[in-house]
Amino acid sequence: MEIMAEYAAAYEKTGGRNLIFCEDRLTLIAEKALVRKTGGTFFSSVTTFARFLKTDRRILSKQGSVMAVGGIMAALQRKKQLRCFTSAAGIAN
DSSP 27-70: HHHHHHHHHHHHSS-SSEEEE-HHHHT--SS----HHHHHHHHH
Domain spans in the chain, listed from the N-terminal domain onward: 2-92
Contact 20, 11 (CB under 8 A): no
Report the length, in residues, of the chain.
Answer: 93
Is the pTM here over 0.85, yes or no?
Answer: no
Adjacent-strand bridge partners of 20 = 46
Q: Is 89 or 1 the better-scoring residue by pLDDT?
A: 1
pLDDT of residue 73: 81
Provide the percentage of residues in the chain whose pLDDT is more than 90.
27
